[in-house]
Amino acid sequence: MRFSFGLLMKFGLLRHLISLILGFIAENKFIVSKRCQQAYCDYPQRLMPTGDDTNTGECNAMEKQKSKIKSYGKLLIPMTLSMSLLLSACSGSGSPSEASQPEGASGGSGERVTLKLEVFDRGNAPSGMTISNNYLTNYVQDNFGTPNNIDMEFYPVPRSEETAKLNILMASANDVPDIVFTYDSGTFYRYASQGGLTEVGELLDEYGPNLKAFLGEDALAYGQIDGEQLAIPGRRLVLGKYASYVRQDWLDKLGLPVPTTTEQLYDTLVAFKEQDPGETGGRVIPLGMSVAPAQLDSLLWSFVEPISDEERITRTQKLGSSDYPVLLPGYKEGLRFLNKLYHEGLISKDFALDEDKKLLWQDVQNGLVGAYSEDAGELLFEYNGTYKNLQANSPGAVMTPIDPYVNAEGLSAKPGYAPNAMFIMIPKSSKRAVEAIKYLDWMASEDHLFFMQNGVEGENYTLVDGIPVANADASQDIKDRLYNYGDMAIIVNGKYMGDDEKNAEAYIRQVPEVYHDMMRTSVEISDTNKSAPIIMPVPIEAESRYGSALRAKLNEIIVKLTMSSPDTFDTTYDSLMNEYMAGGGQAILDERTKVYEDMMK
Amino acid sequence: MTEKQANRLFDLTNVVLITLAVIVCIAPFIHIIAISLSSSRAIMSGEVTLLPIEVTWEAYKRVFTDASMLRSLGFTMYLTVITTILSMIMTILAAYPLAKSSLRWKSLIMFFIVITMFFSGGMIPEYLLVRDLGLINTTWSLVLPNLISPFFLIILITFFKGIPDSLEEAADVDGSSHFRTLFSIVLPLSAPVMATLSLFYAVNRWNGFQDTLMYITNPNLYPLQLKLYQIVSNAQASDLLRSEGVGMFEIMPEGLKAASVIFATVPILLVYPWLQRYFVNGTMVGAVKG
Amino acid sequence: MRASIYYARYWRLYAMLVLPVLYFVIFKYGPMYGVQIAFKDFNFFQGIHGSEWIGLEAFREVFNNQEFYKTLRNTLMLNGLDLVISFPAPIILAIMLYELNINWFKRISQTILYIPHFISWVIIGGIVMQVFGTQSGMINNVLNGLGLDSIPFLTDKNSWLATYLATGVWQSAGWGTILYLAALTGINRELFEAAEIDGANRFRRIWHVSIPGIRMTIVTLLIIQLGNMISIGFERPYVIGNLAVRDFSDVLSTFVYRIGIESGQYTIATVVGLFQAVIGLIFLLAANTIAKKLNGEGII
């Protein structure tokens, strides 16, 4: 937004006061030109998957940027008394797309409009790019915006302050982008229940056939409330969450089998503790543990006893965005098992401190950890580097993916992801709902999504067995093009290749080639006996009210019961659960029961 | 024990204790420097304490070649200077009259100011105000809303009150105006507290980023601390990266994070040694009542 | 003095106040209509004016919430301990620094002592874990090496309090000295010389010259600190705290964060904020009154 005097004047109440302070505004003081790197601009105008001429693309937006004049305001502040101060201030300017003037409208008709899109800002823009002006935003502008006579304006929202910022934008009505999104179902329900979202069912039918086909009914259902389509959920491709790992070289040294049940795992951990096959000098941590769900869930969920659907639906508690089996039979025994592990020295004394898993990774890399559960294959990814570092630190170290936690039925039950990703919403105040749907539909059609996720063939990737594999030796400039594709390709979570098999394969091939087999096994384990989160026909109000407080409380319960003396375990459990129920657990249970009964009528 | 010996014992103990405190205070900083110079394997295995391991300058190369980092540094310096100057002017303008015992309605005005230390309208009305003034995405949105800190104002009033009235009255009798008194007597006598408050304002602005999260969406106006905050908070949200399917691309390596912290901290750390000359003992010999 | 004469003589003082007062009116009082959220069922899309009045319902909800009382108690407890431990620390340190005779050492140590203030809490949190951890923290490694048992610095409630206070002192004491040093600089050197001639030893000199010299600064900061007894920063308890010691580390700011930001219940968050503001103001006014009685001067 330009520093405009007129706008200033609109604020009637304070007009006179302000005009005392702010004298006049001058403009156009500096001309700032922006660097236009070659690699930054040379995407194809229309994508040609086989094309040799991928470098012939234009760089319209960037050319404009070069000559863009930034307006700098100059303020005179008269100090009512005998002095005055002359200051010059950078008043900046809003969006890069301001620069794109209407030009020979090639595609759309009528007035040129602006479509404002939220984009997550994670502060990791490579040198020479910004979150709202980079290779992908230019691709979107030139391939969707310009042909349809639309200016795309990208509105960065800091990832870590997402909800706070969205709330403020929503409350300020006219600043709010036309497309907003969140991963937090509570935020979506809140906006929906306060009547702030556009119902997009008909719009989808009319303008989003490709989008609808792409997302499928499964994912779309997560954006429906009482039959109204109030959000467009993105589609999640990889639904498995967790796998466990054990040090194969330790097993071999002790002549132990790969553990396949909880009891066997326990025996293995005890052997690790007593015989210290890693020669850690007593620093061994048989089971890596933290307070993150990735470490706790596989273990705790396997203790849940087989139950009826009714019980599962009514007694599950959704806190934040995940389901917790806290009230289900058997959960308490899972906690008792943790308590036992803790008191026998089989898990780290510091697990309660480790909320971001930093200590866990450190211990695994130093060869102190015998077994642990995690997001499937996390240790293999290059950005994580754990496996690589482990093998550098302790030569000969080998991890094997395992699936040891089994329930009473002998199944390794564990949670998985819901088939939806983020909730994409169009605020009711938006006048560009049609264009917004068109944009999402554009992304889902032809190979736009493929391009946004993979870039240019031969430069960013090579096709191997029909699956694009990133060129490891591509120059930094070329790699940087796609630096935030995950946040730009909002309709999908994971790389989309066309069918499930290829999607999974593409996921597996994101780790270095030597780990492909291990990654494949990890993904298989994460898919085994996984259960999708429960979907309720209406949002449970008590969950959005008490959810975040209860999640904190539940983590506290887990930690306290793990660390409490085994003698007082039961009494501690009772008193903590009383607090939990009084703090909203009962309210959620009651409401879910009622919704279930209504559903069954 | 003679008095001289006692004095020397006192000095010795004092030096030893302060040395200990100095070591405790600088160790974490050295640790961060060590991390910024170490290989990521060594960092992630937790091997780095006070000395860098497998020394590499890669992180600093990346920070110093990142145009947006340098631009942020420039903008932050500009912003800090502007804020500090304006804040100091406004604070002095308020503190001088409020330190005068002859000012009528003083308690009422003080009460009016103190109220704002406790009551605030909250984020939404504040955002709406800044928006309606047309300040969104301008430097002014980061300067004006926190122009005067009531806390610093009260401190300055306390110091002004400490200046003997006799000095000022003499000036008054001489027929000099309040402004002349302020400039020729009060401000020179208050050099140390002026330096202190300037430092406080500067550091607050330098380290603050919460307002930028709300008022700035133009990446050209990102102050350094916002970038730093995002770099650090990304690491906090590594779990999110995975479930949000964006973990595949590069996240900030630890070494780069540490180098960014050093890059963003050292410039403001250098301000104090420079200000120390205003703390020379005895600048106000005989001027201030005890 | 008659008003007309008074204002004729002193109008300049009021003129100086015009801009600062304007600032407070526009930027502080301007948005203050936001406190009415506490009495409304706030709806993002209706805005503050459009939302429905609910009277004191939200207050009832807050005052019926067990977590509110727990976090209130912890806030008062942590602030109370800080008042006893962290408040005097910079005063003592400043006097020690002032007593140093070696000029270069004085300058360098001052500069280093204030460095911790510039390290963000997130980073401090990581370092605290590495130093004080039970399993592999540096201190416990040393203890174990000496054949001693580990001390759960972070996971036992009472040890955690000590760690919390120590990190607070470490982070803020050096920074806090700056203001006291500025005050000490203002003390008349002749007073020190006179004390020396009287044969006062170092402690007596500190007690009779240095401390009285910075008394007003101490009193001012103390009054403000008392006004802040019920408000507490979010980061320090959040980062240094952990799930095992939530009985102590869960405070009003984390409580408000959970319900205000995470659950979007701005009404409840505003109620808590209003409660803190009223109590804080009362504390400050009370402290100010006492200071005036004892000292002759307060801040208002």
**CATH of residue A388:** 3.40.190.10
With cut-offs at 50, 70 and 90, classify the pLDDT of residue B280: low
A498-512, C74-88, C212-226: segment of lowest average pLDDT: A498-512
Question: Average pLDDT, stretch C152-165?
Answer: 94
* pLDDT for position A50: 34
Closest residue to A583, CB basis, from C44, C67, C155: C67
Looking at the structure, tell me whether residues A220 and A258 fall in a common domain.
no
Closest CA to C275 of C257, C256, C250: C256
Nearest to B218 among A11, A92, A123 (CB): A92
Chain B nearest CA to C297, separation (Å):
10
* Residues A431-477 pLDDT 10s: 999 999 999 999 998 889 999 998 888 888 888 888 888 887 888 88
- Residue A80's pLDDT is 29
C32 interfaces chain B, CB cutoff of 8 Å: yes
- In this prediction, residue B250 carries a pLDDT of 53
Q: Give bridge partners of residue A182 from the DSSP assignment.
A: A423
Q: Is the pLDDT of residue A554 over 80?
A: yes
Closest-CA residue of B relative to C216 is B158
How far B129 CA lies from chain A's nearest CA (Å)? 9
For chain A, the average pLDDT equals: 81
A125 & A260 share domain = no
Measured between beta carbons, the chain A residues lying within 8 angstroms of B132 are: 7, 10-11
Interchain contact, B178 vs C13, CB within 8 Å:
yes
CB B247 within 8 A of CB A421: no
pLDDT in tens, A105-123: 334 456 889 999 999 888 7
pLDDT of residue B246: 56
Residue B45 at interface with chain A, using a CB cutoff of 8 Å = yes
Beta carbons of C67 and A560 less than 8 Å apart: no
* Same domain membership, residue A131 and residue A67: no
Is the confidence at residue A13, as pLDDT, over 80?
no
Which residues of C are less than 8 Å from B158 in CB distance?
A: 216-217, 220, 299
First to last CA, chain C: 23
Q: How many CB atoms lie within 10 A of CB B275?
A: 18
Beta-carbon neighbour count of residue C106 at 10 Å?
18
Q: Decide if C135 and A285 are in contact by the 8 Å CB cutoff.
A: yes
pLDDT value for B240: 57
pLDDT at residue A9 in the model: 35
Structure tokens belonging to residue A417: 């992801």
Query: Which residues does chain C have within 8 Å of residue B124's beta carbon, measured at their own beta carbons?
Result: 34, 37, 48, 266
For residue B241, the model assigns a pLDDT of 60
Share of chain B above pLDDT 90, in %: 45
Residues A130-163 pLDDT 10s: 888 889 999 999 999 999 999 999 999 888 888 8
What is the average per-residue pLDDT within B175-180? 67
pLDDT band at B170 (very low <50, low <70, confident <90, very high): low
Largest Cα separation within chain C, whole Å, is 82
Per-residue confidence (pLDDT) for residue B283, from 0 to 100: 47
The answer to whether A175 contacts B41, with C-beta atoms less than 8 Å apart, is no
Whether the pLDDT of residue B60 is over 60: the answer is yes
B111·C300 Cβ contact <8 A: yes
- So what's the pLDDT on residue A94? 34
Range with the lowest mean pLDDT among A155-169, B249-263, C58-72, C107-121? Answer: B249-263
pLDDT at position B238 is 53
- The confidence band for A356, taking pLDDT boundaries of 50, 70 and 90, is confident
CA angle C292–C295–C300, rounded 5-degree value: 35
Q: How far is A145 from chain C (nearest CA, A)?
A: 29
Predicted pLDDT at B284: 47
- Helix, strand, coil in percent for chain C, rounding step 5: 75, 0, 20
- Mapping DSSP to helix (H, G, I), strand (E, B) and coil, where does residue A477 land? helix
pLDDT surpassing 80 at residue B108 = yes
Q: Are residues A136 and A267 in the same domain?
A: no
Report d(CA A430, CA C110) in Å as an integer. 56
User: Stretch C166-175: mean pLDDT, rounded?
Assistant: 94
- Minimal C-alpha gap between C267 and chain A (Å): 12
pTM given for the model: 0.85
Per the model's pLDDT, the better-predicted residue between B209 and A271 turns out to be A271
- The pLDDT, as a whole number, for residue A357 is 87
Examine the pLDDT at A91 and tell me if it is beyond 70. Answer: no
Split into its structural domains, chain A has a count of: 3
ipTM: 0.92
Inform me whether the pLDDT recorded for A74 exceeds 90: no
| Shared domain check, A376 and A339 | yes
Do A439 and A394 belong to one domain? no
Give the alpha-carbon dihedral of B5, B7, B9, B14, to 10 degrees: -170
* Closest Cβ opposite residue A168 in set B123, B137, B245: B123
- Which of A118, A122, A360, A511 to mutate to test binding with chain B, by most B CBs within 10 Å of its CB? A122
Chain A residues closer than 8 Å to B178 by CB: none
Query: What residues contact A586, with CB distance under 8 A and at least 6 apart?
Result: none
Domain ranges, ordered by start, for chain C: 1-55, 58-295
A446 in the same domain as A405: no
Mean pLDDT score, C57-82: 94
Nearest CA in chain B to C261: B123
pLDDT grade for A48, boundaries at 50, 70 and 90: very low
Name the β-bridge partners of A317. Answer: A324
Q: Are A561 and A538 in the same domain?
A: yes
Q: Is A253 in the same domain as A359?
A: yes
Model pLDDT for residues B262-279, shown as the tens digit of each residue: 999 999 998 888 888 777
pLDDT tier at A358, thresholds 50, 70, 90: confident
Q: Which residue range(s) make up the domain with A16?
A: 11-89
Reported CATH class of domain C58-295: mainly alpha
| pLDDT average, residue stretch C166-185 | 92
> Confidence class of residue C40 from pLDDT cuts 50, 70 and 90?
very high
To the nearest whole percent, how much of chain A has pLDDT over 90? 52
Question: What is chain B's mean pLDDT, rounded?
Answer: 84
- Same domain, residue pair A364 and A344: yes
**CB distance B258 to B36 below 8 Å:** yes
State both tokens at A150. Answer: 């639309």
Q: How confident is the model at residue A299 (pLDDT cuts 50, 70, 90)?
A: very high
- At B289, the pLDDT band (50, 70, 90 cuts) reads very low
The confidence band for A561, taking pLDDT boundaries of 50, 70 and 90, is very high
A218 and A130 in a common domain: yes
- 3-state class (DSSP) for residue A310: helix
Nearest CA in chain B to C96: B14
A69 domain-assigned: yes
Average pLDDT over residues A174-202: 90
Residue A417 above 60 pLDDT? yes
**How does residue A526 score in pLDDT terms, banded at 50, 70 and 90?**
very high
Do A153 and A112 contact (CB within 8 A), yes or no?
Answer: no
Closest CA relative to residue B142, chosen from A398, A91, C127, A416: A91
Task: Tell whether A186 and A55 lie within a shared domain.
Answer: no
